[in-house]
Amino acid sequence: MTGPARREEGGKSRRGTQERALRRREALLDAAVDLLGEGGFTAVTHRAVAERAGIPLAATSYYFSSRDELVADAFALLVERDLLRMRASAAEAGAGSLVESARTILRTYAPDRGRQLGLWELYLQAGREPALQHIARTWTDGWHDIVRTLLDRAGHPCGDDEVRFVATLVSGLWLELLVEDRPGSPERAGETVARALRAITECR
Amino acid sequence: MTGPARREEGGKSRRGTQERALRRREALLDAAVDLLGEGGFTAVTHRAVAERAGIPLAATSYYFSSRDELVADAFALLVERDLLRMRASAAEAGAGSLVESARTILRTYAPDRGRQLGLWELYLQAGREPALQHIARTWTDGWHDIVRTLLDRAGHPCGDDEVRFVATLVSGLWLELLVEDRPGSPERAGETVARALRAITECR
DNA sequence: CAAAAAGCGGTACGCTTGTCCCACTTTAAT
DNA sequence: ATTAAAGTGGGACAAGCGTACCGCTTTTTG
């Protein structure tokens, strides 16, 4: 009755918590992430998560004290994975030009529309629930860092303003691309990014 | 039993629909919009809307064949009003510089965080429900038009690319401002916009 | 004026939801 | 070995949900 097996800092398993329990908790989180991608925020219910993870219903209440906590943890995990993936994609495409990098990153995420929509959904939710604020900021900061790295590596080191400028523009374009998938939009988005980069690199 | 009083094209009341019924329908829509702003998508339930509008529960089912339709109509109304308000705000601030205009628009929307969050929430939902796609695009197009007008009036007529560039950047900044309200963010956002405008106007 | 259509609203059904309870087994500590 | 804690899972609960039903009144139509 003391409390379920929370992930203590450092990822190290706490004394007294069993191995299997941690794996089950992760399975639940994975299921939650998947469901969020498939059906959005409202699809992440205790029952759906439990069934997806192949774990009895009561377990979800055992590992997460409330649905809000479950969603918040799923959000954090999603952000973490997203940034990891983005960093990897950026590193892989770091050699070519900036526009080419942007195109590579875009390709990486193309088959992942649902998950991205879910991520934005939760990000928006953070505007209403202060408990999610911290995670939302982590996402933004991480993304800005990636853009900064990318700009640096391309030989155009920028101040915070320029980084913010490019990062926000790309985010906005991407969100629009995600929501309204109009024909020809990806190409136009690419041109818009190129124009922004030109403005930063050529102009001074 | 034929069907409730739908708003036929042109806004003209159909023969056979009563005046009061249309007003009630609008009252329900207004209530839905308010609730969306206060509590987000999930707060828009039949019961909450009915109670807020001072109208019995069954009426919501009478005027809207389903919750989805109610939400969709509320979304459309919200977009319509938002664009109207934005246009008015833009016209009012059209005299000064672009950055000053941006600042005025920002001030107009400051006390309206909830409604803006709801709007974005529905916009995001449009990524999953094709029925909302059309409304989402209307919002985007309308916003782009406003930006175009603003740029034109300031003596910097732009092509579609530039308009898209500025509009998307401002949207992104605005969304970030809305979700994470960090101290000092509005100022930094202003600078970022100024930089973007400089890039467009000075550079060529 | 009669009949049909539209508007109205109380009520209830069926379902899903989050969460809790409690008996049970397994693991860890003493 | 004994005792406490952690893990486990079946079941049930109240609350909230969308929606349909159905008798009623009001308005419009012919």
Domain range summary for chain B, segments of one domain joined by +: 17-64, 78-204
Which member of A128, A133, A173 has the closest CB to residue B168?
A173
Report pLDDT digits (tens) over A113-146: 999 999 999 999 999 999 999 999 999 999 999 9
| Cβ separation B188–A40 shorter than 8 A | no
| Confidence (pLDDT) at B100 | 81
Q: Is the alpha carbon torsion for B126, A82, B174, B109 positive or negative?
A: positive
* The two structure tokens encoding residue A96: 């070519």
Which member of B161, B172, B178 has the closest CB to residue A172?
B172
We find that the CATH architecture of domain B78-204 is: Orthogonal Bundle (1.10)
Report pLDDT digits (tens) over B22-69: 999 999 999 999 999 999 999 999 999 999 999 999 999 999 999 999
We find that the CATH architecture of domain B17-64 is: Orthogonal Bundle (1.10)
Neighbouring C-alpha atoms within 13 Å toward the C-beta of A4: 18
How many helices (DSSP H) and strands (DSSP E) are in chain B?
9, 0
Chain D bases closer than 7 angstroms to a protein Cβ: 5-12, 16-21, 27-29
* The two structure tokens encoding residue B10: 């042109």
**Nearest alpha carbon to residue A163 among A174, A177, A152:** A152
Strand residue runs (E) in chain B: none
Percent of chain B with pLDDT over 90: 63
For residue B183, count CB atoms less than 10 angstroms from its CB and return exposed for 0-12, middle for 13-18, buried for 19 or more. exposed
Q: Which A-chain residues 136-155 have CB contacts (< 8 A) with chain B?
A: 136-137, 140
Phi and psi at residue A41, to the nearest 5°: -55, -45
Give the pLDDT band (50/70/90) at residue A104.
Answer: confident
Distances (CA, A) of B175 to B55, B80, B81, B109: 34, 19, 18, 12
* The two structure tokens encoding residue A128: 């209403």
Place of tokens 């995001």: B124
| Confidence (pLDDT) at B37 | 97
| Confidence (pLDDT) at A16 | 53
| Confidence (pLDDT) at A203 | 56
CATH topology of domain A75-202: Tetracycline Repressor; domain 2 (1.10.357)
How many helices (DSSP H) and strands (DSSP E) are in chain A?
9, 0
- Mean pLDDT within A153-163: 88
Report pLDDT digits (tens) over A13-45: 344 567 888 999 999 999 999 999 999 999 999
Report pLDDT digits (tens) over A174-189: 999 999 989 999 889 9
Closest chain A residue by Cα to residue B131? A180
- Mean pLDDT within B113-120: 97
| Confidence (pLDDT) at B203 | 56
| Confidence (pLDDT) at A3 | 47
CA pair distance A88, A105, nearest whole angstrom: 10
Q: Which nucleotide is nearest to A20 (CA to C1')?
A: D7
| Cβ separation B40–A125 shorter than 8 A | yes
| Confidence (pLDDT) at A199 | 80
| Cβ separation A137–B173 shorter than 8 A | no
Residue B3 has pLDDT above 60, yes or no: no
Phi and psi at residue A40, to the nearest 5°: 80, -175
If you average pLDDT over every residue of chain B, what do you get?
A: 88
With DSSP H G I counted as helix, E B as strand and the rest as coil, what are the percentages for chain B, rounded to 5? Answer: 75, 0, 25
